[in-house]
Amino acid sequence: MSVNVVKFTKLRTTIDPTFWAKFAELKVDKLRLDDKSQIKLWGRYSFDVPEIEKNNPLVLDYMSFNENVESNSINNSIICYGYMVNTNTYEAFRKINPQDFIDSIGKCIINDIMSGAALAEPWKLAVFLIFSYADLKTYRFHYWVAHPTPLSLPEMYFEKIQKSINDNFMVDQFDKLYEGFQQLDYKQKSFFSVFVFDEENIKVDTLNEGIKYINAQESTVGTDCEVYFAFYNPCKRLLEPGWQLRNLLCLLFWHCSTFCFTKSIQILSLNRDDFKTAVVYTLKCKEYAEQEIVKKSIFDSHLVGWEHNENGKMGPQIVDLSEILDPNKLAEKAINLNLKLMKWRLVPDLDLEKISNLKCLLLGAGTLGCSVARVLIGWGISNITFVDKSIVSHSNTVRQSLFIHEDAVKRKFKVDAAKDALLRIRPTMNVHGIKLQIPMPGHVVGQSMLNTTKEAVKELKDAIAGNDVVFLLLDSREARWLPTLLCAAMNKITINAALGFDSYMVQRHGVRNLTDIPVSNVTSQNPDGKNLGCYFCNDITQPGNSQTDRTLDQQCTVSRPGLSQIAAGLAVELMIAITQHSQGLEAKALAAGIKNNVNSNIKDNTLEGLLGGVPHTIRGSLWGYESYLTITHRFSSCTACSIPLISEYQKRGFEFILDACNIPNYLEKLCGLEELLKRPDLDELCSSIDASSEEE
């Protein structure tokens, strides 16, 4: 064959979309603002590709970020490792100077060659580098990959190019070669040595052993065997092997330079794990007078190796994953993005998993129900159950933010329409709708309604039991009674919201625990959760039927349209703040008094959770744009949450609820309110209750 100058083929990389998807996760969850770290990666040249014309690319995918190389890849691939640096902004990405970048980060190759680290672990001879900017809002990724190698290399010529199967090895030697190769560690497989003693004796060994042998020979005379330096060559052109060979030659020039400058170097170029298709290059260096200077210039030179982009130009690539990924999965990632960003700077300890796993029950799918659901999905909550018995009417759609005109035309049930709406927003949500009429005190249950009512109570009970949080968003006071009782009996996070014309109330119910009844302490300014009241703790009569004989303006929620959004926003944020308080529902109630009390020097740290304070009741008005934090203490004779009632419910179940609905004053008797109101100190009690209660 004719003697030719050795040229090299540039390497190329294929980045699977899963690589970027995984990186997006890492960025959001772990790296966050970190733009300094060199992220360790591994990639592979797979043997499992069809024999095609093109050069085999370095493949990166979601596994590239794993700490350990996946075992299947070890068997079927040549493993490389690399570093990635990701900038936080597009501006920073554009400011990166590629030459500076490759010279500084790629320097590891030079260092590893000089230190011998690359001899111990030859995969260090073929490192790759990436710098990137991930626009996670649009799922566009900007990046540029390099395979660093010194720019200056002594000129090499091909002395011979031979197919291994014809000229260098006997057919029965291939098995031994293959076996030896397979026994190499994956870090040794990119570059290794082959010793041929005679036809019988042939051996695969590490690169280090080959060099040792060459250097030993320098000092002695005679040749015991032939040594081949083998490398994995992903490139197809016979006269232009891959850049791996450049780095191998650099290493040889450092560790056995005399040999390289003077002798023929036998290189075994392995294209797959099949030695039969391997090629043997016999290389010879151009004759140099100043060998030391030439050698030094290799390691003093700049590094090169940036890939061309898709347009064949030297420059970064852009990949737009939003076009590739499954829209549903993309949505899932994106939905969590804004939430995870909170952890970057603002609230690093925020327990998002706790929030997104919350199961929320919304009693009422009207104006408040729709608005509450909207804030919940904003928090990434995807388990939502609605309870409502109504049908969407035309007057609902402009105020109840989950419904559309068509729902009213089709007379859909609100719970069905709400479910459809949430699935239109986030197709993977887990939404349920329950159509039921909540039994209410004062709404007598006749014989004809007995079975339906029994079924309704069971469904409601099961729904509350199966959820973590219950929102009371119903349109009458008495409809909140049974849920209040059931939530107290099952000790659920209960959030109550109610609207007036231009005022609202948002409240968390106190903790109820039959086995741990606190001693009432009505003097505490910031009672803890066990001492906080429920919606009915202010009342001195049991709830009754307020729904008959109501005129149209009393039947409809006549309130300023902005009000429901405000109340719903507060209701959900209060609930979230509770979940992020170390004491949860038992946390002390934040009250405006403490904060404004300039005389108080003692700051009560237990008042604040990760997301701030957790008040008991927030009341506000659009008339004067005020809002107040108020507190209602637990009332031991409450007609909804007091212990006698809960006990009776637990004893008698549905029969108790039936009596509550049908028998006038049943609850007042049972909870001791009737007795209490007969006492001579009634006036005192009433005035103290009046003082703490407010009109809605």
Interface with a copy of itself (CB under 8 A), residue from 295, 374, 480, 581: 374
Closest separation between CB of residue 388 and a copy of itself, Å?
A: 15
Asked if 425 touches a copy of itself (CB under 8 A), the answer is yes
Partners of 39 in the beta sheet?
Answer: 84
Interface with a copy of itself (CB under 8 A), residue from 110, 136, 361, 482: 136
Region near a copy of itself per CB under 8 A, out of 101-109, 118-126, 519-527, 607-615: 607-615
Interface with a copy of itself (CB under 8 A), residue from 114, 398, 517, 522: 398
Asked if 345 touches a copy of itself (CB under 8 A), the answer is yes
Closest separation between CB of residue 23 and a copy of itself, Å?
A: 13
- Burial of 588-604, coded b for 16+ CB within 10 Å and e otherwise, reads bbbbeebeeeeeeeeee
Asked if 333 touches a copy of itself (CB under 8 A), the answer is yes
Closest separation between CB of residue 17 and a copy of itself, Å?
A: 15
Total residue count of the chain as it appears in this document: 696
Q: Please check whether residue 365 is in contact with residue 396, taking contact to mean a CB–CB distance below 8 angstroms.
A: no
Region near a copy of itself per CB under 8 A, out of 39-47, 134-142, 178-186, 441-449: 134-142
Asked if 552 touches a copy of itself (CB under 8 A), the answer is yes
Q: Please check whether residue 45 is in contact with residue 82, taking contact to mean a CB–CB distance below 8 angstroms.
A: no
Interface with a copy of itself (CB under 8 A), residue from 624, 680, 681, 691: 624
Asked if 501 touches a copy of itself (CB under 8 A), the answer is yes
Catalytic positions: 556
Asked if 551 touches a copy of itself (CB under 8 A), the answer is yes
| Angle of helix 244-255 versus helix 207-219 axis, rounded to 10 | 40
Pairing of strands 503-508, 617-621: antiparallel
Element (H, E) at 685: helix 682-692
- Which pair of tokens denotes residue 238? 């016979």
Alpha carbon distance 510, 613 (integer Å): 15
Q: Which is nearer to a copy of itself, 73 or 86 (by Cβ)?
A: 86
Report 42-71 residues binding a copy of itself (CB under 8 A): none
Distances in Å between the Cα of 684 and the Cα atoms of 463, 679, 689 are 41, 10, 9
Interface with a copy of itself (CB under 8 A), residue from 79, 375, 487, 641: 375
Q: Please check whether residue 450 is in contact with residue 657, taking contact to mean a CB–CB distance below 8 angstroms.
A: no
Q: Which is nearer to a copy of itself, 345 or 651 (by Cβ)?
A: 345
Asked if 548 touches a copy of itself (CB under 8 A), the answer is yes
Please name which of 47, 66, 61 lies closest in space to residue 13, comparing C-alpha atoms: 61
Partners of 132 in the beta sheet?
Answer: 86, 143
- Which pair of tokens denotes residue 57? 């690319």
Distances in Å between the Cα of 170 and the Cα atoms of 112, 444, 614 are 36, 100, 81
Asked if 556 touches a copy of itself (CB under 8 A), the answer is yes
| Angle of helix 654-662 versus helix 643-652 axis, rounded to 10 | 120
Interface with a copy of itself (CB under 8 A), residue from 30, 37, 54, 92: 92
Please name which of 485, 369, 374 lies closest in space to residue 429, comparing C-alpha atoms: 374
Q: Which is nearer to a copy of itself, 263 or 399 (by Cβ)?
A: 399
Asked if 401 touches a copy of itself (CB under 8 A), the answer is yes
Query: From residue 441 to residue 480, what is the string marking binding to a copy of itself with x (rule CB under 8 A)?
Result: ----------------------------------------
Closest separation between CB of residue 572 and a copy of itself, Å?
A: 5
Closest separation between CB of residue 427 and a copy of itself, Å?
A: 6
Interface with a copy of itself (CB under 8 A), residue from 50, 312, 561, 680: 561
Region near a copy of itself per CB under 8 A, out of 102-110, 221-229, 419-427, 681-689: 419-427
Element (H, E) at 303: strand 303-306
Contacts with a copy of itself by CB under 8 A: the residue count is: 97
Closest separation between CB of residue 79 and a copy of itself, Å?
A: 32
Collapsed DSSP state (helix, strand, coil) of residue 517: coil
Q: Please check whether residue 64 is in contact with residue 39, taking contact to mean a CB–CB distance below 8 angstroms.
A: no
Alpha carbon distance 604, 524 (integer Å): 13
Closest separation between CB of residue 336 and a copy of itself, Å?
A: 8
